[in-house]
Amino acid sequence: MGGNLMVRQPFWRWAGASAAGLAHEAQGIPCEDSWRACQTGRPSGIEIVAVCVCDGAGSASRSAAGARLVSWAVATWLSQHFETVQSEDTASAQRSLVRFVIKWLRRAASRNEVEIAAYASTVVAVAVRSDGAWVSAHLGDGAIVGRCNGGLRLLSDPMKGEFANETFFVTDEDAVEELRMSGSSFQTQTSKPDGFVLFTDGLENALINRRSSQVAPALGRMLDWLDTYSQEEVAKALQSNIRSVLRETTGDDCTLVAMTMRSNEGYE
Amino acid sequence: MSEGAMEIHKDDLLSNPTNRVPIGLCLDVSPSMTGEPIEELNQGVELFFKALKEDRVARLSAEVAIVTFGTSAQVVLDFQSLDRISGPPTVQITGDSTNLGAGVALVLDILEDRKNVYKEAGIDYFQPWLVLMTDGQPTSDEHLRAAPRTCDLERAGKLVVFPIGIGQGTDMDVLAMFSEKRHPLKLKGLNFAQFFEWLSKSVVCVSQSRPGEKLKLDTEGVKGWAEI
């Protein structure tokens, strides 16, 4: 019974949920958002967790598949190349990530005899390491909020064109240049948040104010839940709150993932 | 876990303004529109406002301005939220000529002003629409300067143009100068009501569109009001 008391490396926990927008649901269209988390360990015991949320383009014929594929590819690449991103120059990391995603989209497009634009999707991703180092990758709308020293901060705001229905996708010709990468290794971002929330554009209006960079208190509460309850319980609560409260503020699909770091002392 | 411990309340959320769709109606009120045409036009515009106000999203999203042109152009109604007005003002016959170019230039100017208001207030907006309706031919050359402006904006994806002719006297070649993407259509008889009903449905559609979605118009519905 029991075990040895030991101090583990701090580790990251996450929980997420997606729901089809009310407009999509009314038309019988499935959710075109997707999200994926990928956890990998290094021999040193250090862990990396990469999370990506994606919104498939409404005009693309395979938008739901695009969001699924892109979220998987981005989370996989970030978890495998975390150290490379930290040491490489940003332009090179942007190029490698987009190339990796496009490679997988090309395979799917070729198999189904469609253009890769059929899989057009946005990218909102964060990868974190147990020492608190982090990297984000963002293309298109959606946003990333971080919890730094107990306060919430908009770390990456939505990337939009002039008009409300214009945004950027990973399949765009200039995706490499448009992709926004930042993180703890970059000079402009030196803080190490202990919590992140990533979400697609369906939730933007309820959760952030782009003009003032204000962040909704709801996000702080979600991170608190993850500090307190199990990942499964929080995932259920997120799903329920998106469906009953957040989704009422938009017609669009909604996806949100929260991550928090926990310094853990426990029995093994 | 205690019951209700993980619940988000509306107070925990932010409220942002609804994305706007600015629509400029540019209407011919020259003497040839006297009688039934102007009456039908006014009823059509009233129906347009009523239909927009009845839609949950379009009510907050659509902003309609009315510019009329006779000898000169004037702003009869500037862009504003539909909630602020009970209905559109009645447009009246003015002047003794058809200065179509001045009308279009004025709409483009106030559309630009409105976009600046949105930008300053941090309000997102969709591509502005210009609905140009005339029953004759211009009596000045001003349209030769206004038409390239609409085409340049349209080419850059910054304006959606609907050129509409009323009756047999319309110079459709002149109307065609205002859009490279959309052929001018001629109203079937005085079917203003059907046209504005179709227009309101199109506005409802765009007001609910999401990033990456392209404007899809009900082309089948056009047959209800246009001579094709």
**Residue of B2, B3, B7, B14 to mutate, interface with A, max A Cβ within 10 Å:** B14
Q: What is the pLDDT of residue A2?
A: 46
pTM, full prediction: 0.85
Residue B141 has pLDDT above 50, yes or no: yes
ipTM score assigned to the predicted complex: 0.86
Mean pLDDT value across chain A? 90
Structure tokens belonging to residue A244: 């009953």
Inter-chain touch A59–B212, beta carbons under 8 Å: yes
Q: Does B84 touch chain A (CB under 8 A)?
A: no
Residue A96 has pLDDT above 60, yes or no: yes
Which residues are CB-contacts of B123 (< 8 A; sequence separation ≥ 6)? B17, B19, B20, B117
* A3, part of any domain: no
Q: What is the pLDDT of residue A1?
A: 43
The size of the A-B interface in CB pairs under 8 A is 101
Domain range for A180 is 23-263
List % helix, strand, coil for chain B (3-state, nearest 5).
40, 20, 40
Q: What average pLDDT does the segment A24-53 reach?
A: 92
CA A63 to CA B143: how far, in whole Å? Answer: 43
Matching residue, tokens 């030991």: A6
Q: What residues of A are in contact with residue B209 (Cβ under 8 Å)?
A: 58, 165
Q: Does A119 touch chain B (CB under 8 A)?
A: no
* A40, part of any domain: yes
* A8, part of any domain: no
CATH classification of the domain holding A67: 3.60.40.10
The pLDDT tens digits of the residues spanning B70-93 come to 999 999 999 998 988 889 999 999
* A116, part of any domain: yes
Q: What is the pLDDT of residue A128?
A: 95
* A18, part of any domain: no
How many structural domains are present in chain A? 1
The pLDDT tens digits of the residues spanning B161-213 come to 999 999 888 899 999 999 999 999 999 888 999 999 999 999 988 887 777 67
The pLDDT tens digits of the residues spanning B16-61 come to 888 999 999 999 999 999 999 999 999 999 999 999 999 988 999 9
Residue A268 has pLDDT above 70, yes or no: no
Amino acid at A77: W
A-contacting residues in B 49-68 (Cβ below 8 Å): 57
Confidence of residue A190 (pLDDT cuts 50, 70, 90): low
* A14, part of any domain: no
Inter-chain touch A237–B210, beta carbons under 8 Å: no
Q: Which of B8, B126, B210 sits opposite A58 (nearest CB)?
A: B210
Q: What residues of B are in contact with residue A160 (Cβ under 8 Å)?
A: 124, 211
Q: Classify domain B29-67+74-127+144-209+222-227 by CATH architecture.
A: 3-Layer(aba) Sandwich (3.40)
Q: What is the pLDDT of residue A266?
A: 45
| Chain A residue nearest residue B56, CA to CA | A251
* A6, part of any domain: no
Q: Which of B6, B10, B11 sits opposite A229 (nearest CB)?
A: B6
Confidence of residue B67 (pLDDT cuts 50, 70, 90): very high
Question: For chain B, which residues make up each domain, given as ranges?
Answer: 29-67+74-127+144-209+222-227
Q: Which of A142-146, A174-178, B90-94, B205-209 has the lowest mean pLDDT?
A: B205-209
Q: Does B129 touch chain A (CB under 8 A)?
A: no
Confidence of residue B116 (pLDDT cuts 50, 70, 90): very high
Q: What is the pLDDT of residue A9?
A: 66
CA A88 to CA B163: how far, in whole Å? Answer: 54
Q: What residues of A are in contact with residue B158 (Cβ under 8 Å)?
A: 162
